[in-house]
Amino acid sequence: MTDNAQPIKFQRASMGASNMVATSQPLAAQAGVKALHKGGNAVDAAIATAITLTVVEPTGNGIGSDAFALVWDGKSLVGLNGSGRSPALWDPEYFSRYRLMPQFGWDAVTVPGAVSLWLNLSRAYGKLPFESLFEMAIEYAYQGFQVGFRTAYDWQHGPTEWYKDFDEFGRHFLPPPKMGERVVRHELGQTLQELSVHPESLYTGSLAEKIERQAVKDGGALRVSDLSEHETDWVVPVSCSYRNTTVHEIPPNGQGLAVLIALGILDTREPGELDSADSYHFQIEAMKIALRAAADHISDAETMQVSVSDLLDKDSLARAANDIGVSASILPPAALPSSFDTVYLSTADAGGMMVSFIQSNYFGFGSGIVIPSDWYCVTK
């Protein structure tokens, strides 16, 4: 920019429609929009989008993912927890040989819950046949898709080093494609075709059996019995008030409680000038406290040592707010990984139904375990 040049000013414009789909990958968003055009509702759109994301954005999710959803049906709000349990063979002694919990390999693999959540959500609220929600995902897998900017960036930064010891992963995912490069995922298309007709195959059928055979061969602990016992949990969302708004999140083991803790702290003080340095400082410190609390206390609901109600207690939040001074607090922040770990989508339809949906491998492509031949990727 020259000395005489003026900065370009952009005017923001609000956009709205009767039906909407928003996510990180436009091809997946198109799948959701197509479901709406075919007469589907926001749930159909969310599932179609989520399925397509497993194809076009493998850097953050896959059919081995966990998933979480909040659904507003126009009258009430419900939550679904689609995270999978640990293999039954895991116990403290099993991991005694590790100094830290493993990031990759079979000992990082829990039961994949996303497919079960798709099916439960479709059965409860969907209008379109479950099989039809796979159409665009299967088409992109067979015909190919052009890799988007962010997906290419994530694919280029990390996987070559992280997964260098996983031969089957390398056969499918390496070398990383460049932005705009066309990628075909034919074997994933075959697996999606089977899941579209027989979603139970992942838990009690042929896919489950192949997963167990590979786990046994490689020394992993996951078994068909673990897969067959999986259930998607219907949960009551947790919430807090912030100013004049009620904010809802999935309860633990979901991590959304951290947002509620931070908002609860912020709600104890007058907002002041939201764009000021003091306001940013207070927001940062509140979030630091919330993330520390999440790291220390959030686990499966039945194992939590401190209850959700205690963590959201207004007196406790007020004391935490009063501890925030003009300088950064001495509370050590939680160590957070780089954000390579999830995708998000939201949908809404003309009837008033809305869906907020997360689908996650946890870290990048996840464990690195790929089941040979059937291209089923256990990625969590």
Question: The tokens 């959700």 sit on which residue?
Answer: 308
Provide mean pLDDT across the span 81-106. 96
What pLDDT band is residue 273 in, cutting at 50, 70 and 90? low
Mean pLDDT for the chain overall: 91
Alpha-carbon distance of 312 to 310, in angstroms, equals: 5
Tell me the fold of 239-322: Serum Albumin; Chain A, Domain 1 (1.10.246)
Tell me what pLDDT residue 1 has.
46
**Inter-CA distances, 290 with 73, 87, 123, 327, 349, Å:** 30, 30, 36, 17, 33
Tell me what pLDDT residue 12 has.
63
Alpha-carbon distance of 219 to 100, in angstroms, equals: 19
301 and 250 Cβ atoms separated by less than 8 Å: no
What pLDDT band is residue 18 in, cutting at 50, 70 and 90? confident
Domain boundaries, the chain: 20-234+340-378, 239-322
Provide mean pLDDT across the span 223-238. 98
Provide mean pLDDT across the span 350-354. 96
What pLDDT band is residue 270 in, cutting at 50, 70 and 90? confident
Retrieve residue 342's tokens.
């999830």
Tell me what pLDDT residue 327 has.
80
Tell me what pLDDT residue 375 has.
45
Calculate what percentage of the chain has a pLDDT beyond 70. Answer: 89
Is the pLDDT reported for residue 220 higher than 60?
A: yes
Provide mean pLDDT across the span 149-160. 93
What DSSP state is assigned to residue 367?
T
Range in 8-22, 53-67, 284-298, 349-363 with the lowest mean pLDDT: 8-22
Provide mean pLDDT across the span 206-229. 97
What DSSP state is assigned to residue 244?
T
Tell me what pLDDT residue 330 has.
66
Provide mean pLDDT across the span 243-259. 95
